[in-house]
Every structure is written in structure tokens, then in C-alpha cells.
Amino acid sequence: MSPPKVTAYRARNTLLLCAFMLSGCALTDAFSGEQKDDKDAQTSDVFAEDTRTETDTQEVADVGRDVSTDASGCAPGYAGADGINCTVCSSGTYCAGGQSEPVDCAVGATYDHDLDPSTPCRTQVTCAPGEEVAQAGDATTARVCSACPAGTYSAEENAAECTPWTDCAFDEIVKELPTSESQRQCETCPAGSAPIRTNATACNTPSDLITMGDGHLCILDPISNQFQCTGRDDFGQRGPNQPNDGYDFISAAGTRTCGIRHDNAIVDCWGKTSITDHNTPPTWTRFKSISVGESHACGIRQQNSRITCWGNDVFGQAPTTTMTAFKAVAVGNVYSCGITRDGANIRCWGSVTDLQPPTMENLRFKAISAGNDFICAIEELNSTVGCWGADDFYQTSDPTIPSGRVISVAAGKRHACAILENQTITCWGDNQHNQQDHVPDGLFKAITAAGDRTCAIAADDSQEHSVQCWGGQTVH
């Protein structure tokens, strides 16, 4: 009967095990084999197996940790020195994850383009030459660029602002045109020539190279530096009239002619000596320009651009020297005027009633011509002409005074003429001797006036009548 014994033993052990585990085990009747349910076995078993993963139980503690690769590293967008205590990175930084430290996008010319610290910083926008920074970028925004405004340039990257183009000086022409990326480049005109206007691209023969006195006319060739005179010579005012040492500048008035020597910049004069009765040109003073009147003359010193005068000084028109630097000088009847070196002022001395032009802000002058008791000057920026002084023949208020650009201007006794930008001539003021009515047709490059007469050099020297004169007394 051993099998039942064994069965009873097993049944007892099973019962004890189920009771101990409180698992609600089903008992099998050892004798009948019938299975029965133990209701007490339905009680929750506190010892049941825990099926949750380690990740589930550590979910809160592991926020920001990259458990897929390294349980001790932070995920991208998070950072922690130990790779465990990870905190979210702020916008404007890049956090690669792991144990990497945050990178400030503002350092190294980068920025956070998507405000996501888990993505690398993007290279900052660069403003190219020809642009300026309209809005500075930072750690989270791109730099904004805008094109340089007209008349300005930037040559470097990320320019804070574009720089205005500079104007060429009164004796310079444009060598290289400016662009949005480069400054205007200038070069000085050769001796004996000058630009027709500010920022001109070519030099042109100025009116200084043709000059006229009372019945004689002189023309200086700027290439050979030789001058020739025609007309009256009763006082030797036409000069040597033979090959000479060369001159860079000439000026005539009345029965007198003076020139600046090419080799040493010293002044020589010919003709009636009334100018030198009271004073003579300084013997060893070097000049760069001169203006001769009927009884006095003035010149601009080469060394310091101050003006020195000689001759009749009854009205203070011929001071020994000025304390101000000038770039142009013009001598009238009993007065003298000059344009200050910066072009900002016209200053006159001697008998100067009503001669002084009004002071206007940002106004600059580049050329001046003197009549009997009035002056005309060319404004530097726009090359327009203005006149001041006596107006008995409307020489300073005539509505025919040109309003556009002019190349040069010449004032006579009570009239004035100008070469316009298109190289034609217009005149205004006194017309008693047909100073206005007989203006010749054609194109001209240089002009001079004295008394009631005007003479001009044709633009094309090959023309049969390259010099034409009209108005009062005849130049023989």
C-alpha cells in the first residue's frame, strides 16, 4: 500500500506550501483527484514578482539622461558636470549631451537659429563689403545687413556704418570711380590744367591760361609753358615774345603782365611800372598763382598758401601778407578777394562795399573772378555761379546768370561771361558794347574778360579761329 502513502504525503506538503505562500493554490484530493479552489488564495500576494523595469522605477530621477547609450551621460539639450544631475540648457546655447559643458552661441560668431539647445549653433550672418550692419546679431538672432546708401561705401566685412565718398580737391580729377565697396580715388591735374567741376574725370584748360589787359591778350601753352601775347605793346606789356624759360601761370591787366616762372616759381612782370612804384614782387618768394590789377597785384605763396600783394595800397588792397591761407585770389579795381583754403569763405579787402558774399553753411567755392566793383565765384559742389557787389548793370542780379553747372567764369568791367557745362558761352550784365549780343557760337574751353571785352579759346584748337573776341576795344 505504499503508493497511497506517498500520495498522502505529497498532498500534505502541497497544502502546507500553499498555506505558507497564501497564493490561492488549488488543492487536489489525493484520493478522488478532484481539484478544489481555495477562496483564501484570492488574497493579494505582497510577495508577487515585480515585473516593472529599472527604467520605469527611475523615470523621475533619469529626466535628461541618455540611457540609450550611457547611463551616466546627459541627453542633447541638457548638461550636468557629472553627467547625472542634468538640467535643461537655455536658448542661445548648445549642449551636445554626455558630460559636455554648454557652449555659448554668441561666442565664435555663431547664433542659436532655432532656439533649440540640442542642435549646434549656426554660423552668424556676415555683412559683405558694400553693406552695413542694420541690426547687430546676438546669441539667438541673426545679424541683419543692408546695402550702403547712395554716395557711401564699406570696404570691410560687418561695417558698423558705410562711409561717405570724399570729393576730389579743387585741382584734382577722379582717377577711379567710387563704388559701394570702394572710395573715390583722385589725382592732381598736370600744371596748367584743372578739372571743369568737382569730381570731373578729365582735366581741362582753365581760364587762367588766357588773360587780357587794356588792349593786349596773352595765351599760355600749358604743355610747353611758353606764352605769346598780341595787341598793344607800347609799354612792353607783351613780354619777351620769344622762347623763354617757361611759365606755369600768367595774368594781365591794364598795361601790365606778370607770370610765374616754371623753374623756380618766382614772379616776373612786364609793362608799365605803376604797379611796382610802391612795392615790388618779393624777389625770392615762390608763388603758385597770381592775379594782376591795374595798380596792384596779389599772389598765393607756394609755401603756406598765404597771399602777398604789392603795388598801390591806398585802400588797403595790397597788404604785404595775409594771416589766412587761400586757394584762389582775384584782384579788382581797388580791392582784392580770395577763397580760403577750405573753400568755405570768400574774403575781400580794400574798397569792398557790398562785395562780401553772404555766409552760407556747407557752401564751398573753387574759383573766383573780379570785375571793376563786383565779383563772381563758382560753388565747389554743384559748380554753380554766384555774383556779388555793384549791380548798376544787373551784373549780379541778371536773370540770365546761369543756374546750372559752369566750367569757368570771367568778370569784366560791368559784365561777366561763363562757359557752361556743355562748353557754350553765356554773358550777362552790361550790353552797351554787345557783350551779350555778340557771343559766338561753338564750344570753348577757356575765357577771359577785361573792360568791355571778352575773349575765349575754342575747345578744338585746330579750328581756324581758335581764339574769338567780342565786345568793346579791339585787341590788335
Look at residues 395, 215, 352, 355 and name the one whose alpha carbon lies nearest to residue 294: 215
Higher-pLDDT residue of 18 and 303 is 303
C-alpha cell recorded at residue 391:
549791380
Mean pLDDT of the chain: 81
Whether the per-residue pLDDT at 406 is higher than 70: the answer is yes
In the chain, the largest separation of any two C-alpha atoms, in whole Å, equals: 177
What percentage of the chain carries pLDDT values higher than 70? 77
36 close to 16: Cβ distance less than 8 angstroms: no
Residue 1 has a pLDDT of: 37
Q: What is the pLDDT of residues 222-254, one digit of tens each?
A: 778 889 899 999 999 998 766 677 898 999 999
303 close to 324: Cβ distance less than 8 angstroms: no
Residue 320 has a pLDDT of: 87
What percentage of the chain carries pLDDT values higher than 90? 55
Q: What is the pLDDT of residues 270-281, one digit of tens each?
A: 988 655 455 678
467 close to 455: Cβ distance less than 8 angstroms: yes
Give the angle 29-30-32 at the CA atoms, nearest 5°: 60
Look at residues 351, 323, 89 and name the one whose alpha carbon lies nearest to residue 337: 351
In the chain, which residues fall in CATH 2.130.10.30?
205-471
Residue 106 has a pLDDT of: 86
Convert 332-348 to b/e letters by CB count within 10 Å (16 or more is b): bbbbbbbbbbebebbbb
Residue 84 has a pLDDT of: 83
Look at residues 300, 296, 258 and name the one whose alpha carbon lies nearest to residue 170: 300
Residue 281 has a pLDDT of: 82
Whether the per-residue pLDDT at 44 is higher than 70: the answer is no
Whether the per-residue pLDDT at 355 is higher than 90: the answer is no
Q: What is the pLDDT of residues 432-465, one digit of tens each?
A: 999 999 999 999 989 999 999 999 998 876 565 5
Provide mean pLDDT across the span 35-56.
42
Provide mean pLDDT across the span 305-333.
92
441 close to 472: Cβ distance less than 8 angstroms: no
Three-state DSSP class for 389? Answer: strand
Give the angle 90-158-92 at the CA atoms, nearest 5°: 5
Q: Collect all residues with Cβ–Cβ distance below 8 Å to 245 and sequence separation of at least 6.
A: 261, 262, 263
Q: Which residues are paired to 329 by β-bridges?
A: 338
Q: Which of 18-22, 212-216, 350-354 has the lowest mean pLDDT?
A: 18-22
Whether the per-residue pLDDT at 339 is higher than 90: the answer is yes
- Confidence class of residue 474 from pLDDT cuts 50, 70 and 90? low
Residue 248 has a pLDDT of: 87
Whether the per-residue pLDDT at 52 is higher than 60: the answer is no
Q: Which of 103-112, 176-185, 332-341 has the lowest mean pLDDT?
A: 103-112
What does the alpha-carbon distance between residue 27 and residue 78 come to, in Å, rounded to a whole number?
A: 57
Residue 48 has a pLDDT of: 41
DSSP assignment of 89-141 equals PPTTEE--SBTPPPEETTTTTEE-TTS-TTSPPEEPP-PPTTEEEEE---SSS
Look at residues 79, 78, 77, 140 and name the one whose alpha carbon lies nearest to residue 106: 140
Higher-pLDDT residue of 428 and 460 is 428
Provide mean pLDDT across the span 79-88.
87
What are the E-state strand segments in 262-405?
Answer: 267-271, 287-292, 296-301, 307-311, 326-331, 335-340, 346-350, 365-370, 374-379, 385-389
What does the alpha-carbon distance between residue 153 and residue 283 come to, in Å, rounded to a whole number?
A: 48
What does the alpha-carbon distance between residue 261 and residue 252 come to, in Å, rounded to a whole number?
A: 15
**Sheet containing 444-450: which strands, arranged edge to edge?**
444-450, 453-458, 467-471
Q: What is the pLDDT of residues 186-221, one digit of tens each?
A: 988 765 566 656 787 767 654 448 999 999 999 988
Provide mean pLDDT across the span 356-373.
85
Residue 299 CB neighbours (<10 A): 28
What does the alpha-carbon distance between residue 444 and residue 225 come to, in Å, rounded to a whole number?
A: 21
Whether the per-residue pLDDT at 55 is higher than 70: the answer is no
Convert 408-428 to b/e letters by CB count within 10 Å (16 or more is b): bbbbbbbbbbbbbeebebebb
Residue 464 has a pLDDT of: 56
Look at residues 409, 413, 414, 411 and name the one whose alpha carbon lies nearest to residue 425: 409
Four-way CATH pick for 205-471: 1.10.10.10, 2.60.40.1730, 2.130.10.10, 2.130.10.30: 2.130.10.30
Residue 329 has a pLDDT of: 96
Residue 348 has a pLDDT of: 94
- Torsional sign, CA 189, 191, 193, 198: positive
Q: What is the DSSP letter of 75?
A: P
Residue 463 has a pLDDT of: 60
Three-state DSSP class for 344? Answer: coil
**447: part of which helix (H) or strand (E)?**
strand 444-450
Whether the per-residue pLDDT at 382 is higher than 60: the answer is yes
What does the alpha-carbon distance between residue 403 and residue 247 come to, in Å, rounded to a whole number?
A: 35
Q: What is the pLDDT of residues 96-149, one digit of tens each?
A: 999 889 999 988 789 999 999 999 999 999 999 999 999 998 999 999 999 999
